[in-house]
Each structure stands twice: as C-alpha cells, then as structure tokens.
Structure 1
Amino acid sequence: MTTLLHLDASARAGRSDLQPHGSHTRRLSHRFVQQWLQQRPGDQVSVRDVGLNPPSPVSGAWIHAAFTAPSSRQDWMHKVLAESDALVDEILAADILVLGVPMYNFNVPAQFKSWIDNIVRVGRTFGFDRNRQGEPYWPMLKDANKRAVVLSSRGDYGYGAGQRSAAMNHVEPSTRSALAYIGVSELHSIAIEYDEFGDDRLAASIAAAETEVDTLISRMIRDTR
C-alpha cells in the first residue's frame, strides 16, 4: 500500500475547474490524487491545507527548542515543536508528496515556506554532527525512497528550463533543494501558465498540464509495482 500526502498551498479556496477564480494548483493536485486512487483504490491519502491553515512561522523559541537535545527539552519546548512534529510525522508516513504550490512573486507562497521551515528539522529529517568527518550534514530520509510531485501555476509564461523567465522561477528550484536536503531527491514538476492572460493559451496550458499529470501518474504507478 502506498500513502500519498496531498498538500495544497494556494490562498485560493476553490478549484479552477469549479470556480471562475479558483486555484489551478488545487485543480491539478485534486486530479492527481483522484486519478491515482482510481487506479489504486486501496492506497491511503492524508490531506494538509497550508494555504488556508498555514503552519506557524519559525520563531526564536522554535529554534532554541529544535537545537536542544530531545532528552534535555523542557515542557515548553515540546509544546513549541508539537506542530512541527505533526508535519514531520506526515512526511515520514508518506511515500509520495503531492504538492500544490503556486508561484507568488517568483517564489513559493509564504504559507508553503513556513511548512518547509517546519519540516526541515535537525535530528528528525536531517542530521548534523560538527565532529563528523567530511560533510557535517546528512539527509535522514535518503533511504526511504520517497517521491515528490510539485504542481504549480504561474500568471506569466516561459518559466521552464531554458525559457525566457527561467532565472526568475524560484518555486521548483527552492522546493527541490529543500526536499533533497532531507533525502527526497526524486521530484517531478508540472505547471499551468498564462493565468493572467485568461485566453486560449491558458486553456491550452491547462489541458497540457492535465495530460502531463495523467501520464506521470501512469509512469509512477508502474514504478511503484
């Protein structure tokens, strides 16, 4: 059995296939999960909506607690880290991360960045030992064979590799870096573009992205067996 973590980071509550101003990323993430379950109905899905219920941002108290050895933590430290622990536990339980992450001003939404900051945790998802030979940091999830899918959307166009605005795209690169740091190195990405144009190009981009989602699912399911 495979477990999917379905995470949405859009500030928009609805989906663009149901509402005129709904979220494209929610549309794609919903499609991914539903298509997956149609082919593998016995698999499990956990849901996390950081777009509408953002995690608390990292604070000085959080940093103090996270970098204190678990055996030395005081009660308040455990309370400060409780939300982060829950978010990390979801990742540990998941085999595939299905991440709906729109582009906001060339980067990920603040809500999603708070999630990243909470799950990149010393002692839980990455290790650190200043006395370790060579690299003092290491990814703790490296051997867990976890995979990630980033489903994004952009108001403009040309943010793909080698295209006109590729250097301004910090969504997939920053997400890839953070997840690889903890050991999730296999990442697939699909995006809808032309949202601000709202014309036939947007419709074509949506159709292409949905086709890509379906193709990716077939390939990932084949690799899962």
Structure 2
Amino acid sequence: MNILHIDSAITGDASVSRQLTAEIVAKLKAERADATVTYRDLAEGVPAIDNDWFQAVRLSPENPTAEQQALIDTSNAYLAEVQAADVLVIGLPIYNFTLTAQLKNWFDQIARAGVSFRYTAEGPEGLLTGKRAIIAYAAAGTPFGSDVDFASGYIRHILGFIGITDVEFVPADRLAFDREAGLARAQEALDKIAA
C-alpha cells in the first residue's frame, strides 16, 4: 500500500489537521506493515496556475523553453505522486470557511484534462480510479457539513471528478467552542478507519 500524506496547514506543530493526518498515517502503517509513505507539505508553497502554466502544461508545446519545462516538471511531480498512491491522507484545515490556498493550488496542478480526467459524450470521467482518500478536517468555528462549510463538499467533488470516489472524513470541528468535544469527534471517526 502506497500512502500519499499531504499537509497544508500554516500553523506548524499547533495544527490539528497535521496531528490528525499523522495519526491516520500511523494507524494505516500499523495495520499494513508493507505500507510506504510519500510526504508532501504544501505549506512550503505550491505554485498557482497562470497563463505561463497554461501555455506550458495544458498546451504542451513540442519544444518547451526551460521555464516551461520547469512548470511541466512541477505539475507532473504532483500528479505522479497521486498516480502512485493507493491512499491519499489529506489535511484540510479550514481558513475563512474553505480550504487553504496551497491545497487549492495543488488541486489545480493535478486536475488535468486527458491525464487525471477526460471529457466524454456522457460527461467528464475521472481517470485516477481505484484510490481511497481520508481527509482530516479541522476547523475552529466552521461546523463540518454545515451551510458555511465550503471545503468538504468541494474536496469530495474534486476528488470524485478525478476518479477518487472512496472518500472518508475525520472531522475535528468547532474547536474554538469546545476543543475537547471536537477532538473526541475526530477520534471516534479515526477509530472507525480500517487499512
């Protein structure tokens, strides 16, 4: 089992989502001795897509410049990690009711027509099938699944769009109001996760 472990919180060791992703990965590894882990900390920076990226990655020039090749290589590296993974463990800290900019940038880098999804006569089809995603949702005030949670629905949708439909959440929400209860909800969800 290959695990892709992704964090995106900017709060370092104080991050609840980082603590949860570490616990999820440890649980998976304890149940599967053969598990390997690739770690990616998106808080270190993920380039936003722009016109240069579009010209290089989406239009795939025959003879890319060195700058274009660097953009292609970066996007390909993110995508290769997902392609190689059996399980994605993604930290989803909630900032201003939604996902981090770094995590959104990462999704923009890997959602590529003809590579991670394709358009068909019946509509879009995800190409990264047969994978599982476990999402560590952490929010100070945004209740998981509420009308003001603009992150969890997006994550489920974009993962499904690229073919990953087996999605589980480990939510630690409303931490600013009752931290103990929020962490207890997360622990209950974590206990139910099987490798």
User: Normalised by the shorter chain, which TM-score bucket?
Assistant: over 0.9
Structure 2 Cα separation of the partners of residues 151 and 44 of structure 1: 19
Match status 1:102 vs 2:90: no
Q: Is the 8 A contact 1:35 1:214 kept in 2?
A: no
What's the secondary structure of 1:42's corresponding residue? coil
Counterparts of residues 13-32 of structure 1 (less than 5 Å): 13-14=12-13, 22-32=14-24
Counterparts of residues 66-215 of structure 1 (less than 5 Å): 66-69=57-60, 72-76=62-66, 77-128=68-119, 133-135=121-123, 137-142=124-129, 145-156=130-141, 158-160=143-145, 166-197=146-177, 201-215=178-192
Q: Is the 8 A contact 1:57 1:114 kept in 2?
A: yes
* Cα distance, 1:203 vs structure 2: 0.9
Matched to 2:35, the amino acid is D
* Cα distance, 1:25 vs structure 2: 0.4
Matched to 1:99, the amino acid is I
Matched to 1:75, the amino acid is T
Matched to 2:69, the amino acid is H
* Cα distance, 1:207 vs structure 2: 2.2
Question: More strand by proportion, 1 or 2?
Answer: 2
Structure 1 Cα separation of the partners of residues 46 and 141 of structure 2: 28
* Cα distance, 1:58 vs structure 2: 0.4
Q: CA RMSD in A?
A: 1.6
Structure 2 Cα separation of the partners of residues 127 and 47 of structure 1: 27
> Which structure has the larger Rg over C-alpha atoms?
1
Partner of 1:19: none
Structure 2 Cα separation of the partners of residues 208 and 105 of structure 1: 21
Distance of aligned partners of 1:141 and 1:73 in 2 relative to their CA distance in 1, 3 Å threshold = farther
Matched to 1:133, the amino acid is A
* Cα distance, 1:190 vs structure 2: 1.7
What's the secondary structure of 1:168's corresponding residue? coil
The TM-score normalised by the length of structure 2 is 0.92
Distance of aligned partners of 1:100 and 1:37 in 2 relative to their CA distance in 1, 3 Å threshold = same
Q: Percent identical across equivalent pairs? A: 26
Structure 2 Cα separation of the partners of residues 23 and 31 of structure 1: 13
1:90-134: CA deviation from partner (whole Å, max 9, x where unpaired):
000000100011111111011111111111112221124xxx534
Q: Please, which of 56, 64, 76 is the counterpart of residue 65 of structure 1? A: 56
Structure 2 Cα separation of the partners of residues 158 and 116 of structure 1: 23
What's the secondary structure of 1:7's corresponding residue? strand
1:5-46: CA deviation from partner (whole Å, max 9, x where unpaired):
0100101111xxxxxxx1110111000111111121221111
What's the secondary structure of 1:204's corresponding residue? helix
Partner of 2:5: 6
Q: Please, which of 30, 36, 43 is the counterpart of residue 38 of structure 1? A: 30
* Cα distance, 1:74 vs structure 2: 1.6
Structure 2 residue runs of 5 or longer lacking an equivalent are: none
Q: Is the 8 A contact 2:110 2:116 kept in 1?
A: yes
The TM-score normalised by the length of structure 1 is 0.81
**Moved runs in structure 1, 4+ residues, more than 6 A?**
none
